């Protein structure tokens, strides 16, 4: 091997901080296999690893505890989010479950009011049996968060923008308050991804992702990711991941990295389209309300602009009634009508009957998740095709 090649190997392990986000998604340190020069991380399907000697335990001994392919992904997301330890889980819910299990029986957690239905279900039907107490709060107002604090409060769980009504929480103010009060702050960053928003840089302790969504980006894998701000929380979360065994498989770890390489390009395209779509919907006579943090008049717009570099690819809107929405869902041709979001294909969801079906109807209505509300996840199609399609679907409703 020539010196030239060796220098190249060395160079590829190093990422100057000056690199822009898009460059770091490609040159993240693991992109070149040091043994063969392969331009893609190999899939180490091994469940177990040989110990060459009893005195020198190998770096990896069992894939649940650590796997070279999964490790590259975990390092990759930690770097993109600006944290110290990353963890890959079998689904977003597995990541969220693990984060909540940092708490113990008797602890209390304050959670964003219109949190994802699955998180709501976990807290109100499973973790409640383990005596984890939850208060759901409208986090657009920090005073309400403060008012919810109890002597046994241990954590604050933020989703911003929230799902599906895209309410904004001030991450820095909430995380600062949490730190002053000795609470862990956890942010579900699924909607923004580190491309638009990096909560750890704003003071949060843990960032979570349903990587099934924008990070994976192709509706072809389930995955959850977590990144911690410090080693101590990282070690606690590692014990849970290894102890409960809900880590991500090797093939899906690789597939996720493959998706993440195009994150910048995908997010930029989808966000541009979503901005155009939100403005178009806001002018449409058949649409009663549009939820998008980029629209003038969105109550969280200023806060969002301070903490994120874009508005994201999700636009929710309300047609005013369930009947009209059902017609709309039957008429659209471009988006797949399905749960999930954040994919190359546009996805149109009906929260009341899909993602938030596990929430009781009265709680749902209280949170603005009406029978007329739909959530549009803008994909990689051309935005004018998306608008033309919606225009024909909304006509004569």
User: What residues are annotated to the active site?
Assistant: 64, 116, 188, 213
**Choice between 23 and 131, CB closer to another protein:** 131
Residues 6+ apart with CB under 8 A from 271: 196, 310, 311, 312, 313, 378
Least separation in angstroms between residue 380's CB and another protein is 15
CA–CA separation, 27 vs 19, rounded Å? 9
Query: Interface with another protein by CB under 8 A: which residues?
Result: 45-55, 61-64, 89-94, 96-97, 101, 104-105, 118, 121-122, 125-126, 129-132, 212, 216, 219-222, 224, 239-240, 243-249, 251-252, 255, 326, 329-330, 336-340, 343, 347, 350, 353-354
**Choice between 64 and 261, CB closer to another protein:** 64
Asked if residues 91 and 224 have their Cβ atoms less than 8 Å apart, the reply is yes
- Number of Cβ within a 10 Å radius of residue 128: 12
**Choice between 267 and 343, CB closer to another protein:** 343
Least separation in angstroms between residue 308's CB and another protein is 25
Asked if residues 357 and 251 have their Cβ atoms less than 8 Å apart, the reply is no
Least separation in angstroms between residue 296's CB and another protein is 32
CA–CA separation, 320 vs 358, rounded Å? 22
Q: What is the DSSP string of 381-393?
A: S-HHHHHHHHHHH
**Choice between 8 and 235, CB closer to another protein:** 235
Residues 6+ apart with CB under 8 A from 323: none
Instruction: Indicate the burial class of 178 (C-beta count within 10 angstroms; 0-12, 13-18, 19 or more).
Output: buried
**Choice between 28 and 49, CB closer to another protein:** 49
How is residue 207 annotated by DSSP? E
Least separation in angstroms between residue 138's CB and another protein is 24
Least separation in angstroms between residue 325's CB and another protein is 8
CA separation (Å) from 63 to 67, 68, 245, 248, 340? Answer: 5, 8, 10, 10, 29
Q: What is the CA radius of gyration of the chain?
A: 22
């Amino acid at each position: 091997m020539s010196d030239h090649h060796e220098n190249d190997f060395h160079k590829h392990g190093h990422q100057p901080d000056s690199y822009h986000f898009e460059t770091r998604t490609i040159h993240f340190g693991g992109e070149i296999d040091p043994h063969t020069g392969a331009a893609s991380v190999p899939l180490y399907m091994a469940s177990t690893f040989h110990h060459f000697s009893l005195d020198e335990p190998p770096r990896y001994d069992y894939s649940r505890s650590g796997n070279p392919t999964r490790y590259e992904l975990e390092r990759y997301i930690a770097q993109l989010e600006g944290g110290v330890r990353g963890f890959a889980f079998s689904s977003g819910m597995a990541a969220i479950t693990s984060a909540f299990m940092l708490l113990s029986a008797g602890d209390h957690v304050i959670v964003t009011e219109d949190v994802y239905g699955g998180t709501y279900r976990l807290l109100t039907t499973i973790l409640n049996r383990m005596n984890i107490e939850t208060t759901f709060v409208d986090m657009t107002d920090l005073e309400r968060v403060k008012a919810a604090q109890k002597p046994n409060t241990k954590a604050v769980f933020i989703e911003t923008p929230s799902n599906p009504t895209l309410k904004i929480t001030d991450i820095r103010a909430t995380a600062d308050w949490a730190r002053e009060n000795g609470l862990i702050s956890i942010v579900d960053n699924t909607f923004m991804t580190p491309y638009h928003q990096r909560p750890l840089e704003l003071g949060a302790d843990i960032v979570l992702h349903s990587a099934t969504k924008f990070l994976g980006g192709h509706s072809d894998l389930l995955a959850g990711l977590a990144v911690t701000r410090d080693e101590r929380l990282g070690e606690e979360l590692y014990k849970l991941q290894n102890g409960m065994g809900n880590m991500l498989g090797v093939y899906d770890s690789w597939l996720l990295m493959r998706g993440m390489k195009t994150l910048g390009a995908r997010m930029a395209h989808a966000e541009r389209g979503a901005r155009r779509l939100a403005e178009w919907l806001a002018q449409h006579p058949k649409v009663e309300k549009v939820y998008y943090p980029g629209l003038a008049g969105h109550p969280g717009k200023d806060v969002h602009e301070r903490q994120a570099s874009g508005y994201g690819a999700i636009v929710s809107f309300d047609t005013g009634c369930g009947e009209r929405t059902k017609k709309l869902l039957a008429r659209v041709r471009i988006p797949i009508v399905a749960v999930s979001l954040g994919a190359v294909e546009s996805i149109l969801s009906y929260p009341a009957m899909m993602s938030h079906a596990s929430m009781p109807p009265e709680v749902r209505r209280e949170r603005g998740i009406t029978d007329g509300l739909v959530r549009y996840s803008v994909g990689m199609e051309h935005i004018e095709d998306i608008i033309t399609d919606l225009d024909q679907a909304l006509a004569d409703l």
